[in-house]
Structure 1
Amino acid sequence: MKILVTGGLGFIGSHTVVALQSKGYEVVIIDNLSNSTLNVLKGITSISKKTPIFEKLDMRDKTDLKKFFLKHKDIDGVIHFAASKAVGESVVNPLLYYENNIATLTYLLQNLTELTQQNLIFSSSCTVYGEADNLPVLEEAPVKKAISPYGNTKQIGEEIIKDSCSAHSNLKAISLRYFNPIGAHPTAAIGELPSGTPQNLVPFITQTAIGKREKLSVFGNDYPTADGTCVRDYIHVMDLAEAHVVALERLISSKSEMNYEVFNVGTGVGSSVLEVVSAFEKTSGEKLNYHIVDRREGDVIAAYADTTKANEILGWKAKRTLSQALEDAWRWEQQTVLQ
């Protein structure tokens, strides 16, 4: 079967391509290379021993996207990652986020609903919950007013997909609300390589440890948590990649109970920023230079998943530990220096 992965050379996308190819799927990648490079394609090939089809394409261009789907009418499913993803950046540049995340999703659905097979996995986020009333967070938790434009694009994206599934009976979709992906492929052939200053904790940690950054900024230590720093659910990117494959297979095999479903994807364990720092120091043997700075706008206090639904219905569960994820992320960082 042929699967389209949008944003397939990005962090989560590339690992999902590897997971798909290991299951025998033929993969087609769309990516505009705004936050990735063609070296990622080489990394995927070195792991899978198979090169996916790649087309450089900006999904904001409706004409080019239409041409793509006219060329690839035999796609059996789409996993949609292509989007901007940093909370802080979205606060500073909201219009970029609404264009990249909402307009492109609309264009994608317009083309997808004309295919014979209309299966979509949407890259959603725990940010749709905002500051949750209860932890761990259940899928049934209310979707509150978004704290950031990024979170809002995920909320709106889910609404667009849900409405589209109601209007198009052949369209089946699953939104995976995942928490904080970290780590890298254990081969260190692919990993997280943000352009510019990292917006996420772990790449900032590894870049600080290796000397690319002078010090790590910890945004706030006065939150109502055990050590005053924000708490998140950190999931290994390969566990997350495998969840996408399992969800896709649910759609393809017509096992979905309804046209649109939602699943949390996380470990179910919350770790504070300082706990992650400590775990990295223990795993790597490196001492991190970090300092406390003011809170960052758009950050929630704590978020970690109740994964019961994914465990029981999808038959998926995170297998890798925080230490494994940090070890793989550090191996990847060290490898990038050697390139």
Structure 2
Amino acid sequence: MSTDPKSLLNGSFSSEGVGPLKKASAEEIEKIKKTKDDVRIEYLPSTLCGFGYSSPPMEVHVKNNRIIRILPSHFPENFRLWEIKTDRGTFSRPRKAVPYPHMLAYKNRVYTPTRVKYPLKRVDWSPDNPNPQNRGKSGFVRISWEEAIDLIVKMVKKIKEKYGDLTPILAQGDGHGQTGICTQHFWNHYLLDVLGFGWTQQVRNPDSWEGVYWGAKLAWGFDELLVGECANDGSWDNVLQYCEMIVLSGCDPETTGSAFCTNVSFLCDNVKKAGIKLVAVSPDLNYTGAVWADKWIPINANTDAALYLALAYVWIKEDLYDKEYVEKCCVGFEEFKKH
């Protein structure tokens, strides 16, 4: 597929699942202008790039079209919060939504003097005479969006005329390495496609938490992160009702779970209220371990596998394991036992 580069950059084309951004109508703009003397409340999404839980948005107060404050969102009293009822008590979440930390800096981010608000061009740069030796030395001059788009189009065409295609260019696999899914990382592929360039696709293993999610899809063909179990949010009923101990193995969800917008905090609070023991296994006494753990086991780095094998050895050697559970829920135990 190919299209004119300028129409692509102007957003004046449409493709299946892809199209130009919707512009505010004249009536909508006029309505905003008329309310500029009043403090109006906008709501700003507070997840990490769309990943993680869709936490409640931040409450942004705007006056004279300027942000004057950013506050955590609060659920009103007439808003029904979820509840999990167990024999150990009834558990819920706070009405105040503690924000993803970066969100509180958005006001400064918007009004920082170093923010680039419009297209800039180096004073001694032109498509025919770029003067690369002056990068980082010469200053910049403001240009219009129309001029910026024209320059980009001219350079794209120049590159295509000079090099033919971009087959040597490596484009990262969309998603975080997996292919065939339209995520944020899909757009470099789409851009090169519509411009008619060749390119080389990078395909790497799904990483991090995505390995859990995408591993099931790629290895076994499952369409959800279930693998025979209920969804993660549905498991909390059973955890709060029956669980006796949770082991935090080498993880620090209070620190690394910012994308989950502090859901970790109130879930850990519910765990403690349910009387469930938390054991942190980690070389460092991280934030989660310091705040929530009943016991911290400070092992050396890369010795966690040895620790768990030693535990299994003791359980088997001293006949301490739950035989009924192993029989019903485990596969390959006899081979593991021989090992």
Q: TM-score, normalized by length of structure 1? A: 0.20
For the pair shown, which has the larger CA radius of gyration, 1 or 2? 2
Q: TM-score, normalized by length of structure 2? A: 0.20
